[in-house]
Structure 1
Amino acid sequence: IVQGQDVLVRHYVFENLGPDKISFKFLYFASLHLDSHGAGNAVLYYPNSDALVHYRHGYAFCIGGTLPTAGYQCGNALHDASDGHLSGSPNSLDSQGCLVWDIDKLEGYQTREMTVFVTPGHRIEAALTALERARQTGHRMLFRQTLDWWVQFWGTDEPSDDGLYRRSLSVCRLLTDGETGAVIAAPEIDEHYTKCGGYGYCWPRDGVIVAYAMGRAGYHDFSARFYHWCLVAQAENGSWLQRYDAAGFLGPSWGHQIDETGSVLWGMWQHYLQTGDNGFLQNIWPALVRGADYLCDNIDPKTNLPAPSFDLWEERVGEHAYSAAAVAAGLKGAVITAARLGQSGAAVRWEQTIGTVEEGISDSLWSEERGYFLRTVRKKVSHDEYCGCINAGQEAGVTEDAKGYRGYFVQADDVVDASLLGLVYPYGILPPDDPRVKKTVAAIEARLTSPGVGGIKRYENDNYIGGNPWIITTLWLALYHIAAGNRDEAAYHLKWVQEHQTELGYLSEQVCRDSGIPNWVIPLTWSHAMYILTVVEMREKGWL
């Protein structure tokens, strides 16, 4: 993919490995569902360009090569492509199209080359023009332009022997919308939501970690574009909701997560600390005010914690330690921003709420009996679970909303969870040497280390995709140990991640607990961002 140009380059080299002359066919099939729609797609063959054009609404994709084709087919092309004989149908109200080339009389031990270009445009004419421009430029020059762009992007300040670091920078850049600044979690692997809720969206929480990592690595323009996108995506009530498309429109959602709003406010302040850009503070101030007021309006007076919402794993509703840390850190950033802009009067309530939430973390979440922080209190449960808790003598309760619908909760969820590390990193609500933190980390290491393969699981009895160790949680523990000054422990977890990258240098979401093979989503921007942060933090300590 050539940066700054509308072209995908696929260059092919056919090599005859034997002594005899051979002839064969090369087919290029495509079925494009443009704008995420299976209906309304169409495909045309353009003889003057010897190319297919797939189009729908305001999108067109042109596919053509450097050698003359021997045939084409629009519509129902997969079936006919299987026998190599295309019908020559010039148009179809279908998503499928295919081109075929005859590779004739390839001499023994010789090679022949050709390039296929895929060129997009908002109109068919633009896509066709891009194709002709790519043909004229040629794959060698386009490759040279691409390499030069990435060399300039990487610069010379990264560890030269760490290809995973450079790959991580590249992944974060490639999964960022060049126009809007939105950072998607991963290339979509489950567009029909058969195994999960889909990954091809921008979660503000994930985006903040990516922006923070890229800023720490020196890519401040990247972070600035992301926070510009945040201004577009913010809801009228001041919150940032679960996830959005790249344009900032709310994506399919199954529940609000209050930590997203807190993390955005924290991230905005971190961007200022990295850049000293006063104009940035002025620009975000109205959004920051709405966001901070929203957080203050959503504190549970019974616990002094943020009101019930989904946790960062998007699996349970309650009042969570990680959410509390994000909210307190976000409000701290807002208070300091207000002071910097001479608006301290607006921040009195925010500062009071910080104290309230910090008090809630200590009073409502610390369990002296268990010896670690609770991940959640007032966790929503079913009626049957509620009855079971009551029968077992556990503290539980009932809520009722304005419409009379009843809900049920259990007061304490004592499952050990790696997200408790968020109390220290990145939000800094508690110091790494706090005795309660050290006991919590010891519980995480003892209960969440995956037997055999190693790595850190999300939480006890996790059953998502088999309950595997995750890259982000393993690096999260490394980042805690960096903050605590534990060099050997941090290096151990960093090495584990390096040993579980793919052959191409990508980091997955998970690692199979049985085989140790990278598993599920590949690549995940959050994983790569955590790797960048771990490397940067260790370099700053002189450990790398």
Structure 2
Amino acid sequence: MPKSLVLGNGTVLVCLNADANLSDFYFPYVGLENHIGGHYKHRIGVYADGNIRWFGDPSWKIETDYIADTLAGITKAVNDFLQVQMTVEDVVYNEKNIFLREVTLKNVSDRDREIKIYFHHQFELYESHRGDTAYYDPIKRIIIHYKGRRIFLINAVAEHRQFDDYSIGLFEIEGKEGTHKDADDGKLSKNPVEHGLVDSVIGLTLFLKAGQKTTINYWMTASKHMHSAFRLNEYVLKRTPEYLMQSTKNFWKAWTNKQNFSFYGLDNNIISLFKKSLLCMRAHVGNNGSILASGDSDMLQHGRDTYSYVWPRDGAQVAIGLDKAGDVNVAKRFFEFCKDIITEEGFFMHKYRSDKSLGSSWHPWLRNGRIALPIQEDETALVVYALWKHYYITKDIEFIEELYNPVIKKAAEFMVDYRDPSTKLPKASYDLWEEKWGTHTFSCSAVYGALKAASRIASLLGKKNSMDRYNEAANEVKEAILHHLWDQENRTFLKSVNIDGDQMIPDKTIDMSSIYGIFKFGVLGIEDERVKQNIEVIKERLSPKTEVGGIARYEGDYYYRNTSDVPGNPWFITTLWLAQYYIEVAKQEADLNPVKEILKWTSQHTSRSGVLSEQLDPHSGAQVSAAPLTWSHAEYVITVIEYLEKLEHMGISKVFYPI
């Protein structure tokens, strides 16, 4: 199930499903240690007239969205059977590790009633179900779930009263379904402690007249020490939940609108998705500089792992997007993160955990009995390329000098040396799609762009020898790309070649990344006939030719594809790359109409709350794979800003106006 809401503050990341149940609670890193695990949940239930219905029950009609321009969720829930209406606002407090929910519950019956609201919690602390403890503290009148240095404190108030009912028990072991069943009769057993695979429920009793509504404030704190949990609870009580929620909304509204983009010629849905994309990316950024690919744990239900990792490739694109949008601090922290994870040899590994440790991988160290680096060289190149983009925007020469030796020079030297001596092309690595081994056009183009960037940076710092060395290597790579990777017969750039001695084995698969790399990194100018010819082949061969539309990654893409009548599922990333081509080639305002059509198409295929997935079902348009995917949101933001930059270049409109 794609996530509907993603909320965070750089230490905590919370994900909610379409039914407004919490499915993920990451702490103390964004993306690392999911204490709900993705397969458990935290949910709300309402008891009235002898019946209880939990969120997720078909009797609920639930719509989730973000409050405009904020990283705050709003859920509207109606249950005709129970005759109640609810509005739930959710935030992660931007200053401290506190998740808050403000529930407004209305009795829509024509008679006065007693109604109870319940909050149910299933935890898997440290992502392990062994050794958890939960207990009721009768002094502070709170619930604590803890194991070691992971403590979660739960509290709720309504009409100046704390919760009046509770119970703690086991779930999914020893024949126990879960403590939520204890609420079936509207009265909890008040069991005060349990250990093992434990869950808890708290309840509040409300007396509502016909048509009356009331507000319930709920919060959960996350900490590493018990005394810190108690202090956070006191902080909420002293400052009030209402104040913390409003303060958080005010912060995000100011952050979202600080650049005052003109949005010339774009409709409200496109603008709304732009702002939601900024917020979604920002929620996936850790305070230590990590940039998570996705907090969507549902991927775990279909495979061996999730997307809750830092890919240098994805992180570089998000950093470029946030840099262009004005949040240069995030990009700076990401590059500092990269400084700590780059290898001594000067390359980045496949992916990393948010604590800077090495992530899981399926890339082997051996191929055909020979040692082979298990890397995607484009990831190393993209970080250096993004660093140049960062300098171009910030002009922060001190930061660039600080990272020159440990990142830029180290990576550039690796890219210069990691080349085939006969062709001058980069040696083989895995492609950006993490599937195929070879010397790929996209990776080669990214290396060209990165070496040009390293040469410019070396020039800025007065390092002439390095400037010349990197520039010469870049030009050799460009010449080799045009000589070895252009397929004149098919009017496209090859996906890749595999070099085996004197033999060069081409892969002629039509791949959108190949031509994107060629024009994006400046291997060829946008007016070059080879670029134009390749784009025409892309539009003909990679369109699914269904009502859904979009562009697939490459011909024969099997990933999540469930039909054989399309080249592959359409991806937001590759479709937006086509829009970026239209931007570059545009000479007058009318030439930008295809760009606006693709932006409109993107906004029409989001979830209601503005979440972009990785890909779409080519026939139904349903979101497929990880949702949200920060790379998809980054390409959307980059495309919108490049569209505005082109308008400014044409003298039609400014990118943004001073506030």
Normalised to the residue count of structure 1, the TM-score between the two structures is 0.90
CA displacement at 1:341 relative to structure 2? 0.9
Return the alpha-carbon distance in structure 2 between the equivalents of residues 440 and 79 of structure 1.
58
Return the alpha-carbon distance in structure 1 between the equivalents of residues 342 and 135 of structure 2.
40
Higher relative contact order (CA 8 A, sep 6+): 2
**Does the CA contact (< 8 Å) of 1:245 and 1:251 recur in 2?**
yes
Aligned equivalent of 1:508, options 605, 613, 630: 613
Return the alpha-carbon distance in structure 2 between the equivalents of residues 104 and 303 of structure 1.
76
CA displacement at 1:214 relative to structure 2? 1.1
CA displacement at 1:456 relative to structure 2? 0.8
Matched AA of 2:127:
S
Aligned equivalent of 2:487, options 364, 367, 375: 367
Return the alpha-carbon distance in structure 2 between the equivalents of residues 505 and 6 of structure 1.
25
Identity of aligned residues (%): 30
CA displacement at 1:22 relative to structure 2? 3.0
**Does the CA contact (< 8 Å) of 1:190 and 1:196 recur in 2?**
no
SS state of the match for residue 306, structure 1?
A: coil
**Does the CA contact (< 8 Å) of 2:552 and 2:571 recur in 1?**
yes
Partner of 2:105: 14
1:3-402 aligned at under 5 Å gives the runs 3-66=94-157, 67-76=162-171, 79-84=178-183, 86-154=188-256, 155=258, 157-159=260-262, 161=268, 162-177=271-286, 179-190=287-298, 192=300, 194-195=302-303, 197-255=305-363, 256-286=375-405, 287-378=407-498
Return the alpha-carbon distance in structure 1 between the equivalents of residues 189 and 382 of structure 2.
56
Return the alpha-carbon distance in structure 1 between the equivalents of residues 519 and 354 of structure 2.
28
Partner of 1:444: 538
Matched AA of 2:538:
I
Aligned equivalent of 1:536, options 625, 630, 641: 641
- Larger mean CA deviation between 246-255 and 200-209 belongs to 246-255
Matched AA of 2:308:
G
Matched AA of 1:158:
F
CA displacement at 1:350 relative to structure 2? 2.5
CA displacement at 1:251 relative to structure 2? 0.7
Return the alpha-carbon distance in structure 1 between the equivalents of residues 215 and 99 of structure 2.
17
Segments of 5+ residues of structure 1 without an aligned counterpart are 380-396, 400-408
Partner of 1:494: 599
Matched AA of 1:175:
H
1:454-473 aligned at under 5 Å gives the runs 454-466=549-561, 467-473=568-574
CA displacement at 1:189 relative to structure 2? 2.1
CA distance 1:306–1:368, change in 2 (3 Å): same
CA displacement at 1:503 relative to structure 2? 1.1
Return the alpha-carbon distance in structure 1 between the equivalents of residues 508 and 195 of structure 2.
56
CA displacement at 1:317 relative to structure 2? 1.1
Aligned equivalent of 2:580, options 475, 479, 488: 479
CA displacement at 1:269 relative to structure 2? 1.2
SS state of the match for residue 627, structure 2?
A: coil
Normalised to the residue count of structure 2, the TM-score between the two structures is 0.75
**Does the CA contact (< 8 Å) of 2:289 and 2:333 recur in 1?**
yes
Return the alpha-carbon distance in structure 2 between the equivalents of residues 313 and 111 of structure 1.
51
SS state of the match for residue 498, structure 2?
A: strand
**Does the CA contact (< 8 Å) of 2:493 and 2:515 recur in 1?**
no
CA distance 1:50–1:318, change in 2 (3 Å): same
CA distance 1:237–1:35, change in 2 (3 Å): farther
Return the alpha-carbon distance in structure 2 between the equivalents of residues 78 and 6 of structure 1.
30
Partner of 2:93: 2
Matched AA of 2:282:
R
Q: Deviations over 1:334-372 (max 9, x none)?
A: 111111111122344333321221122111110111111
Matched AA of 1:167:
K
CA distance 1:535–1:73, change in 2 (3 Å): same
Matched AA of 1:463:
Y
CA displacement at 1:425 relative to structure 2? 4.9
| TM superposition outliers: structure 1 runs of 4+ over 4 Å | none
Return the alpha-carbon distance in structure 2 between the equivalents of residues 263 and 342 of structure 1.
23
SS state of the match for residue 351, structure 1?
A: helix
CA displacement at 1:159 relative to structure 2? 4.5
Matched AA of 2:633:
H
Return the alpha-carbon distance in structure 1 between the equivalents of residues 518 and 390 of structure 2.
19
CA displacement at 1:285 relative to structure 2? 1.0
CA displacement at 1:280 relative to structure 2? 1.0
CA displacement at 1:103 relative to structure 2? 2.4
CA displacement at 1:28 relative to structure 2? 1.7
Matched AA of 2:168:
Q
CA displacement at 1:33 relative to structure 2? 2.5
Return the alpha-carbon distance in structure 2 between the equivalents of residues 410 and 187 of structure 1.
41
Return the alpha-carbon distance in structure 2 between the equivalents of residues 373 and 138 of structure 1.
60
Q: How many residues align?
A: 517
**Does the CA contact (< 8 Å) of 1:22 and 1:105 recur in 2?**
yes
- Larger mean CA deviation between 159-168 and 85-94 belongs to 85-94
Partner of 2:76: none
Partner of 1:429: 523
SS state of the match for residue 319, structure 1?
A: strand
- Larger mean CA deviation between 470-479 and 70-79 belongs to 70-79
CA displacement at 1:81 relative to structure 2? 1.5
Matched AA of 1:487:
L
Return the alpha-carbon distance in structure 1 between the equivalents of residues 299 and 344 of structure 2.
29
Segments of 5+ residues of structure 2 without an aligned counterpart are 1-91, 364-374, 562-567, 654-659
- Larger mean CA deviation between 202-211 and 485-494 belongs to 485-494
Return the alpha-carbon distance in structure 1 between the equivalents of residues 359 and 292 of structure 2.
12
CA displacement at 1:124 relative to structure 2? 1.8
- Larger mean CA deviation between 58-67 and 476-485 belongs to 58-67
Return the alpha-carbon distance in structure 1 between the equivalents of residues 529 and 249 of structure 2.
50
Return the alpha-carbon distance in structure 1 between the equivalents of residues 272 and 466 of structure 2.
47
SS state of the match for residue 308, structure 2?
A: coil
CA displacement at 1:441 relative to structure 2? 0.8
SS state of the match for residue 300, structure 1?
A: coil
Q: Deviations over 1:231-281 (max 9, x none)?
A: 111112111111112222111112211111011111111111111111011
Return the alpha-carbon distance in structure 2 between the equivalents of residues 288 and 495 of structure 1.
38
- RMSD of aligned Cα (Å): 2.2
CA displacement at 1:87 relative to structure 2? 4.4
- Larger mean CA deviation between 40-49 and 162-171 belongs to 40-49
Return the alpha-carbon distance in structure 2 between the equivalents of residues 6 and 410 of structure 1.
55
Partner of 1:382: none
Return the alpha-carbon distance in structure 2 between the equivalents of residues 191 and 502 of structure 1.
17
**Does the CA contact (< 8 Å) of 1:44 and 1:74 recur in 2?**
no
Partner of 1:388: none
Q: Deviations over 1:360-401 (max 9, x none)?
A: 21111101111110011119xxxxxxxxxxxxxxxxx699xx
CA displacement at 1:86 relative to structure 2? 4.3
CA displacement at 1:427 relative to structure 2? 1.8
**Does the CA contact (< 8 Å) of 1:23 and 1:102 recur in 2?**
no
CA displacement at 1:305 relative to structure 2? 2.1
- Relative to total residues, which structure has the larger strand share, 1 or 2? 2
Matched AA of 1:75:
L
Return the alpha-carbon distance in structure 2 between the equivalents of residues 301 and 271 of structure 1.
32
